[in-house]
Chains A and B, each alone.
Chain A
Amino acid sequence: MSVTLERIPGKEDQVILSMGPQHPSTHGVLRLVLELEGETVIRAIYDIGYLHTGFEKSFESKTYSQGITLTDRMDYLAPLSNNLGFCLATEKLLDLEIPPRAQWIRVLLTELTRIQSHLVWLGTHAIDIGAMSVFLYCFREREEILHIFEAVSGQRMMTSYFRVGGLALEPPLGWLKGVQKFAKSFPARIDEYEALLTRNPIWLGRTEQVGYISAEDAIAWGLSGPSLRGSGVDWDIRKKQPYSSYEKFDFKVAVRPEGDVYARYRVRLEEMRQSLRIVNQAMEGLPDGPVKANAPHIVLPDRESMKTSIEGLIYHFKIVTEGFHPPVGEVYQAIESPRGELGFYMVSDGSPKPFRCHVRAPSFANLQALPKMIEGRLIADVVACIGTIDIVLGEVDR
């Protein structure tokens, strides 16, 4: 925090501009320090940490189950992806088998999360560049998805719906009707966004050949997710290292070779269509069965058994008061979040609380490419570039 750029001696006419942390286009509290010559950015550095809340330290004093609630609050636009990453890492540590129904519902909901997150990105990105109306449409559709989240988890955003061993509870009767309704109407809505932007000359002028990053640079700087695929690298963890039965779904990975803001825009729009395909497949083939693993010492018993059987009561008491004990060891579990590789590095010392839980936040890594994208460009492009890497500051700062 609180970084500055020193003036280069002999170039005293250059302006040092501090942009943010309170700036509508910085998507939260990102501060940039720009060195300008006229309207051209000569050097840029970023300044983060304004939202640092020490999640990683807090994890160490909470049981694994309590930790899930913290994950919601990191990437607040994709809480279910964070829940999933945390649960998968813990389940890997425990070597726990998850029932198919729970896995499929997880896939369905995380894909809805991806659509929802991309909608917020598209709306805010467009408004940054000057297209006001797209924002209103995107938030209209996003609200429909949040209603689905509210139906299944009771919360619009801080869901904490995935638990170690499966789901918090079976979704309510009739919840799929809401998903079906959304899935039916959404393809036409994407067409609507595309009609507004894809061939819009102003949009093209502001995004084509702006914020260019080559495939080599993107890999070297640790870019992941749509920002990497927009540079022509065909890498998607859902395909290459499938988790939560993604290998059973048929979808394409969106890749564009151009490496500019426009390419990343096209990648994310295509990803929304592909996510919808996965949602439809998940609804059609949703298996029956339990939504929690059969592991009484890890998964909370249902209310019925807690109230009527002594074993249920004992397990409930032990899990709530003490937690469960994973074996000593360490795992790294990466998932494809809407922003890229979201990794959880979990170290257990055998106690009910993680010895260390580190989050590899995709936004944190992606932000490193920002100075590379904007140096030598106009200051107006800075705004387009912040939007295109789709950072969430809650996740950057943790």
Chain B
Amino acid sequence: MASDTESNLTLKKLKDFDPEAVEETRTFRGELTAYVRPAHFLRACEFLRDEPDLKFNFLADVTALDLYPQEPRFEVVYHLLSLETAQRLRLKVRVAGENPHTASAVPVWPAANAFEREVFDLFGIVFDGHPYLRRILMPEEWDGHPLRKDYPTEGYR
């Protein structure tokens, strides 16, 4: 497993580009997860999209995990795909539970727009620099963020 992670070209390139960017990596069932430090996130994304050998030009998905009561509480998860090399990569950014906010990936992949709105809506994580950050699935006046772990499945009655 460990050698798998080390020999990965994507990871090597990313570390060469910015040794500070990657905080931690994990491999499970052949899927690579890279934890990126929030301050380096946007630069790393741009690099991954534009680097000719990697070309992660397709943002497949954005979602989040609530690890309550752990701290930092949230992980925002980006699933990248390269339509040229058919590789996938999972990027994660850790976000604190108190006043959660992180950089938006919309400047790099416009597709992040609706996905990040969904994360904002259901987890309450604010994406800095998002052009239209409003609730998307829940009603505008809704109280709370349903996918948080401290939000009961039956709702508040």
Docked-complex contact A221 and B65, CB < 8 angstroms: no
Residues in B with CB closer than 8 Å to A368 are: 110-111, 113-114
Residues in B with CB closer than 8 Å to A60 are: 153
**B140 close to chain A: CB less than 8 A:** yes
Docked-complex contact B111 and A365, CB < 8 angstroms: yes
**How many residues from A make CB contacts under 8 Å with B?**
42
Residues in B with CB closer than 8 Å to A330 are: 28, 31, 33, 90
**A395 close to chain B: CB less than 8 A:** no
Q: Which of B29, B59, B86, B138 contacts A92 (CB 8 A)?
A: B29
* Minimal Cβ-Cβ distance residue in A for B87: A241
Q: Which of A52, A347, A367, A398 contacts B114 (CB 8 A)?
A: A367
Contacts known (A345-B63, A368-B111); A331 close to B31, Cβ less than 8 A: yes
Distance between Cα atoms of A292 and B133 in the complex (Å)? 46
**A374 close to chain B: CB less than 8 A:** no
Which of A129-137, A180-188, A293-301, A356-364 makes up part of the contact surface? A356-364
Kindly supply a per-residue 1/0 record for chain A positions 328-341, scoring 1 wherever the CB is within 8 Å of any chain B CB and 0 otherwise: 01111010000001
* Minimal Cβ-Cβ distance residue in B for A234: B83
The residues of B with any CB-CB pair to A shorter than 8 Å are 28-29, 31, 33, 57-61, 63, 65-66, 77, 79, 81, 83, 86, 88, 90, 109-111, 113-115, 118, 122, 134-140, 146-147, 151, 153
Cβ contacts A to B, 27 pairs, < 8 Å? A1-B135, A1-B136, A3-B134, A49-B135, A49-B136, A49-B138, A56-B147, A57-B147, A57-B151, A60-B153, A93-B29, A219-B58, A219-B83, A220-B110, A220-B111, A241-B88, A332-B88, A334-B60, A334-B88, A345-B61, A355-B65, A358-B61, A358-B77, A360-B63, A364-B114, A364-B115, A364-B118
The residues of A with any CB-CB pair to B shorter than 8 Å are 1-3, 48-49, 52, 54, 56-58, 60-61, 92-93, 95, 219-222, 233, 235, 240-241, 329-332, 334, 341, 343, 345, 347, 355-356, 358, 360, 364-365, 367-368, 397-398
